[in-house]
Amino acid sequence: MKKGKKLYEGKAKIIYATSDKNLVIQYFKDDATAFNNLKKTTIEGKGVLNNRISEHILNNLSQIGIKNHLVKRLNMREQIIKFVEIIPIEFIVRNVATGSITKRLGIEDGTVLKHPLLEFCLKDDELGDPLIAEEHILAFDWATKHELEKVKKMILRINDFMIGMFRGVGIKLIDFKLEFGRFKSNGKTEIILADEISPDTCRLWDSITDKKLDKDRFRKNLGDLIPAYTEVAKRLGILHEQSNVSSVNVTKLRSIKKKR
Protein backbone atom coordinates (compact mmCIF):
# COMPACT_ATOMS: atom_id res chain seq x y z
CA MET A 1 0.00 0.00 0.00
CA LYS A 2 1.48 3.37 -1.04
CA LYS A 3 1.87 6.12 1.54
CA GLY A 4 0.35 9.36 0.25
CA LYS A 5 0.40 12.91 1.55
CA LYS A 6 0.25 13.93 5.17
CA LEU A 7 -3.38 14.58 6.14
CA TYR A 8 -3.01 15.53 9.80
CA GLU A 9 -0.32 15.84 12.44
CA GLY A 10 -1.33 15.55 16.09
CA LYS A 11 0.75 15.64 19.26
CA ALA A 12 1.80 11.99 19.17
CA LYS A 13 0.80 10.72 15.72
CA ILE A 14 0.72 11.60 12.02
CA ILE A 15 -1.95 10.44 9.58
CA TYR A 16 -1.07 9.84 5.89
CA ALA A 17 -3.41 9.17 2.97
CA THR A 18 -3.21 5.90 1.03
CA SER A 19 -4.39 4.87 -2.43
CA ASP A 20 -7.59 3.55 -0.77
CA LYS A 21 -9.85 6.44 0.30
CA ASN A 22 -11.22 4.40 3.21
CA LEU A 23 -7.80 3.65 4.70
CA VAL A 24 -4.99 5.81 6.11
CA ILE A 25 -1.59 5.17 7.66
CA GLN A 26 -1.10 6.12 11.32
CA TYR A 27 2.53 6.90 12.27
CA PHE A 28 3.49 6.86 15.98
CA LYS A 29 5.92 9.66 16.87
CA ASP A 30 8.26 9.72 19.86
CA ASP A 31 6.90 13.08 21.01
CA ALA A 32 5.43 13.27 24.50
CA THR A 33 3.21 16.13 25.62
CA ALA A 34 1.25 16.81 28.78
CA PHE A 35 -1.04 19.48 30.19
CA ASN A 36 -2.30 20.37 26.74
CA ASN A 37 1.10 20.79 25.16
CA LEU A 38 2.56 23.00 27.93
CA LYS A 39 5.14 20.35 28.65
CA LYS A 40 6.80 18.51 25.78
CA THR A 41 9.79 16.42 24.86
CA THR A 42 10.85 13.54 22.65
CA ILE A 43 11.33 10.12 24.21
CA GLU A 44 13.15 7.79 21.85
CA GLY A 45 11.30 4.51 21.35
CA LYS A 46 7.93 5.58 22.80
CA GLY A 47 6.19 5.50 19.41
CA VAL A 48 7.42 1.98 18.70
CA LEU A 49 6.12 0.69 22.04
CA ASN A 50 2.75 2.43 21.71
CA ASN A 51 2.32 1.06 18.18
CA ARG A 52 2.82 -2.50 19.46
CA ILE A 53 0.80 -2.14 22.67
CA SER A 54 -2.13 -0.46 20.90
CA GLU A 55 -2.08 -3.13 18.17
CA HIS A 56 -2.25 -5.85 20.82
CA ILE A 57 -5.13 -4.26 22.74
CA LEU A 58 -7.20 -3.37 19.65
CA ASN A 59 -6.74 -6.87 18.19
CA ASN A 60 -7.93 -8.36 21.48
CA LEU A 61 -10.92 -6.02 21.52
CA SER A 62 -11.78 -7.07 17.94
CA GLN A 63 -11.88 -10.65 19.13
CA ILE A 64 -14.60 -9.81 21.66
CA GLY A 65 -16.60 -8.00 19.00
CA ILE A 66 -15.55 -4.39 19.60
CA LYS A 67 -15.21 -2.95 16.11
CA ASN A 68 -12.24 -0.61 15.80
CA HIS A 69 -10.15 1.22 13.26
CA LEU A 70 -7.11 -1.07 13.22
CA VAL A 71 -6.60 -2.99 9.96
CA LYS A 72 -3.02 -4.13 10.48
CA ARG A 73 0.34 -3.03 11.78
CA LEU A 74 2.70 -2.27 8.89
CA ASN A 75 6.05 -1.88 10.64
CA MET A 76 7.66 -0.61 13.86
CA ARG A 77 5.91 2.76 13.74
CA GLU A 78 2.98 2.48 11.36
CA GLN A 79 -0.45 0.91 11.17
CA ILE A 80 -3.07 0.86 8.43
CA ILE A 81 -6.30 2.10 9.96
CA LYS A 82 -9.82 2.86 8.75
CA PHE A 83 -10.33 6.53 7.92
CA VAL A 84 -13.01 7.79 10.28
CA GLU A 85 -14.64 11.09 11.10
CA ILE A 86 -13.65 11.48 14.74
CA ILE A 87 -16.44 12.32 17.21
CA PRO A 88 -14.92 15.39 18.92
CA ILE A 89 -15.27 13.96 22.44
CA GLU A 90 -12.67 12.37 24.72
CA PHE A 91 -14.41 9.64 26.70
CA ILE A 92 -12.59 9.26 30.03
CA VAL A 93 -13.24 6.10 32.05
CA ARG A 94 -12.17 6.03 35.69
CA ASN A 95 -11.99 3.01 37.99
CA VAL A 96 -9.81 4.71 40.61
CA ALA A 97 -9.70 8.45 41.24
CA THR A 98 -6.39 10.09 40.36
CA GLY A 99 -5.21 12.90 38.10
CA SER A 100 -7.53 15.76 37.18
CA ILE A 101 -10.59 14.50 39.10
CA THR A 102 -8.76 14.60 42.43
CA LYS A 103 -7.90 18.27 41.90
CA ARG A 104 -11.25 19.25 40.37
CA LEU A 105 -13.42 17.65 43.07
CA GLY A 106 -11.05 17.29 46.01
CA ILE A 107 -11.29 13.50 45.95
CA GLU A 108 -8.46 11.64 47.68
CA ASP A 109 -5.92 10.20 45.27
CA GLY A 110 -6.32 6.43 44.90
CA THR A 111 -10.01 6.30 45.93
CA VAL A 112 -11.50 3.15 44.40
CA LEU A 113 -14.77 4.06 42.66
CA LYS A 114 -17.87 1.93 43.36
CA HIS A 115 -18.68 1.85 39.63
CA PRO A 116 -16.71 2.94 36.58
CA LEU A 117 -17.16 6.67 36.11
CA LEU A 118 -17.53 8.02 32.58
CA GLU A 119 -16.60 11.64 31.88
CA PHE A 120 -16.88 13.57 28.63
CA CYS A 121 -14.40 16.22 27.47
CA LEU A 122 -14.66 18.31 24.34
CA LYS A 123 -11.68 17.57 22.09
CA ASP A 124 -10.43 21.10 21.61
CA ASP A 125 -6.81 21.91 22.48
CA GLU A 126 -7.37 25.68 22.38
CA LEU A 127 -10.07 25.38 25.05
CA GLY A 128 -7.99 22.86 27.03
CA ASP A 129 -10.36 19.90 26.40
CA PRO A 130 -13.05 21.13 28.84
CA LEU A 131 -15.23 18.73 30.80
CA ILE A 132 -18.79 18.69 29.41
CA ALA A 133 -22.08 16.97 30.20
CA GLU A 134 -23.91 14.48 28.01
CA GLU A 135 -26.49 17.24 27.37
CA HIS A 136 -23.83 19.43 25.72
CA ILE A 137 -23.03 16.62 23.28
CA LEU A 138 -26.67 16.42 22.23
CA ALA A 139 -27.32 20.19 22.33
CA PHE A 140 -24.43 20.92 19.97
CA ASP A 141 -24.87 17.82 17.79
CA TRP A 142 -21.41 16.46 18.53
CA ALA A 143 -23.05 13.02 18.52
CA THR A 144 -26.61 11.71 18.33
CA LYS A 145 -28.47 10.06 21.20
CA HIS A 146 -28.27 6.76 19.32
CA GLU A 147 -24.50 7.11 18.79
CA LEU A 148 -23.97 7.99 22.46
CA GLU A 149 -25.93 4.99 23.69
CA LYS A 150 -23.91 2.71 21.41
CA VAL A 151 -20.60 4.25 22.50
CA LYS A 152 -21.51 3.95 26.20
CA LYS A 153 -22.29 0.22 25.82
CA MET A 154 -18.99 -0.32 24.00
CA ILE A 155 -17.09 1.60 26.68
CA LEU A 156 -18.40 -0.59 29.51
CA ARG A 157 -17.41 -3.76 27.65
CA ILE A 158 -13.99 -2.31 26.78
CA ASN A 159 -13.42 -1.38 30.43
CA ASP A 160 -14.45 -4.84 31.70
CA PHE A 161 -12.23 -6.55 29.17
CA MET A 162 -9.22 -4.32 29.77
CA ILE A 163 -9.48 -4.54 33.57
CA GLY A 164 -9.32 -8.34 33.25
CA MET A 165 -6.55 -8.34 30.66
CA PHE A 166 -4.33 -6.09 32.77
CA ARG A 167 -5.23 -7.79 36.07
CA GLY A 168 -4.00 -11.06 34.54
CA VAL A 169 -0.53 -9.56 34.14
CA GLY A 170 -0.33 -7.84 37.51
CA ILE A 171 -1.48 -4.37 36.44
CA LYS A 172 -4.37 -2.22 37.72
CA LEU A 173 -6.27 -0.25 35.07
CA ILE A 174 -6.82 3.04 36.90
CA ASP A 175 -8.32 5.17 34.13
CA PHE A 176 -8.09 5.71 30.38
CA LYS A 177 -9.27 7.81 27.45
CA LEU A 178 -11.12 6.53 24.38
CA GLU A 179 -12.12 8.10 21.09
CA PHE A 180 -14.71 6.93 18.58
CA GLY A 181 -15.30 7.72 14.92
CA ARG A 182 -17.80 7.34 12.11
CA PHE A 183 -16.62 4.97 9.39
CA LYS A 184 -18.44 5.44 6.11
CA SER A 185 -18.29 2.77 3.43
CA ASN A 186 -20.74 1.42 0.83
CA GLY A 187 -23.27 4.06 1.82
CA LYS A 188 -23.33 2.89 5.46
CA THR A 189 -22.00 4.64 8.56
CA GLU A 190 -20.76 2.69 11.52
CA ILE A 191 -19.47 3.89 14.90
CA ILE A 192 -16.12 2.28 15.68
CA LEU A 193 -13.44 2.64 18.34
CA ALA A 194 -10.58 4.81 17.03
CA ASP A 195 -7.24 6.26 18.16
CA GLU A 196 -4.64 4.39 20.22
CA ILE A 197 -4.93 2.59 23.54
CA SER A 198 -1.51 2.64 25.16
CA PRO A 199 0.29 3.78 28.32
CA ASP A 200 -0.01 7.31 26.84
CA THR A 201 -3.80 7.10 27.14
CA CYS A 202 -4.25 4.82 30.18
CA ARG A 203 -3.09 4.98 33.78
CA LEU A 204 -1.57 1.64 34.69
CA TRP A 205 -0.27 0.80 38.17
CA ASP A 206 1.59 -2.32 39.22
CA SER A 207 -0.91 -4.44 41.19
CA ILE A 208 1.43 -5.02 44.11
CA THR A 209 3.56 -1.90 44.38
CA ASP A 210 1.30 0.73 42.71
CA LYS A 211 4.33 1.73 40.60
CA LYS A 212 3.17 3.92 37.71
CA LEU A 213 3.69 2.26 34.33
CA ASP A 214 2.23 5.03 32.14
CA LYS A 215 2.64 8.60 30.92
CA ASP A 216 2.43 9.93 34.49
CA ARG A 217 6.15 9.05 34.58
CA PHE A 218 6.60 11.97 32.17
CA ARG A 219 3.82 14.21 33.54
CA LYS A 220 5.24 13.94 37.07
CA ASN A 221 8.94 13.84 36.11
CA LEU A 222 9.36 10.32 37.52
CA GLY A 223 11.77 9.25 34.73
CA ASP A 224 12.20 5.76 33.28
CA LEU A 225 9.25 6.01 30.91
CA ILE A 226 10.67 3.59 28.35
CA PRO A 227 11.41 0.84 30.92
CA ALA A 228 7.84 1.24 32.25
CA TYR A 229 6.22 0.98 28.78
CA THR A 230 8.55 -1.92 27.96
CA GLU A 231 7.43 -3.68 31.13
CA VAL A 232 3.78 -3.28 30.10
CA ALA A 233 4.60 -4.73 26.67
CA LYS A 234 6.52 -7.64 28.19
CA ARG A 235 3.79 -8.49 30.66
CA LEU A 236 1.22 -8.47 27.86
CA GLY A 237 3.46 -10.98 26.07
CA ILE A 238 4.23 -8.62 23.19
CA LEU A 239 7.99 -8.45 23.80
CA HIS A 240 10.21 -11.25 24.97
CA GLU A 241 11.69 -11.08 28.44
CA GLN A 242 15.23 -10.98 27.01
CA SER A 243 14.49 -7.67 25.27
CA ASN A 244 17.11 -5.13 25.93
CA VAL A 245 15.78 -3.02 28.79
CA SER A 246 17.98 -3.22 31.82
CA SER A 247 15.66 -1.97 34.54
CA VAL A 248 12.88 -4.48 33.97
CA ASN A 249 12.74 -6.77 36.97
CA VAL A 250 12.27 -10.07 35.22
CA THR A 251 12.51 -12.10 38.42
CA LYS A 252 9.58 -10.20 39.88
CA LEU A 253 7.60 -10.72 36.70
CA ARG A 254 8.15 -14.47 36.92
CA SER A 255 7.03 -14.57 40.54
CA ILE A 256 3.86 -12.65 39.71
CA LYS A 257 3.11 -15.08 36.88
CA LYS A 258 3.68 -18.08 39.17
CA LYS A 259 1.27 -16.74 41.79
CA ARG A 260 -1.62 -16.70 39.32
The residues that touch ligand TMP, with contacts defined as CB under 6 A, are 92, 99-101, 129, 175-177, 201-203
Residue 203 interacts with which of ligand ASP, ligand TMP, none, CB < 5 to 8 Å by class: ligand TMP
How many CB atoms are closer than 10 A to CB 178? Answer: 23
Whichever of 92 and 228 has its CB closer to ligand TMP, that residue is 92
For position 42 contacting ligand ASP by CB under 6 A, the verdict is: no
For position 37 contacting ligand ASP by CB under 6 A, the verdict is: yes
Residue 219 interacts with which of ligand TMP, ligand ASP, none, CB < 5 to 8 Å by class: ligand ASP
For position 41 contacting ligand ASP by CB under 6 A, the verdict is: no
Gap between the Cα atoms of 62 and 183, Å rounded: 16
For position 220 contacting ligand ASP by CB under 6 A, the verdict is: no
Position among 13, 26, 33, 245 found at the interface with ligand ASP (CB under 6 A): 33
**92 contacts 121 by C-beta, under 8 angstroms:** yes
* Number of residues written out for the chain: 260
For position 36 contacting ligand ASP by CB under 6 A, the verdict is: yes
Residue 37 interacts with which of ligand ASP, ligand TMP, none, CB < 5 to 8 Å by class: ligand ASP
Contact range with ligand ASP by CB under 6 A, out of 29-37, 64-72, 150-158, 237-245: 29-37
Gap between the Cα atoms of 177 and 233, Å rounded: 19
Residue 11 interacts with which of ligand ASP, ligand TMP, none, CB < 5 to 8 Å by class: ligand ASP
Whichever of 55 and 175 has its CB closer to ligand ASP, that residue is 175
Gap between the Cα atoms of 22 and 192, Å rounded: 14
Gap between the Cα atoms of 27 and 154, Å rounded: 26
Contact letters for ligand ASP, residues 180-219 (x by CB under 6 A): -----------------------------------x---x
CB of 121 to ligand ASP, least distance (A): 10
Gap between the Cα atoms of 150 and 137, Å rounded: 14
Instruction: Tell the burial category of 162 from Cβ atoms under 10 Å away from its Cβ (0-12, 13-18, 19+).
Output: buried
Gap between the Cα atoms of 109 and 106, Å rounded: 9
CB of 34 to ligand ASP, least distance (A): 4
How many CB atoms are closer than 10 A to CB 204? Answer: 27
How many residues touch ligand ASP under the rule CB under 6 A: the total is: 8
CB of 175 to ligand TMP, least distance (A): 4
Residues contributing to the site for ligand ASP (CB under 6 A): 11, 33-37, 215, 219
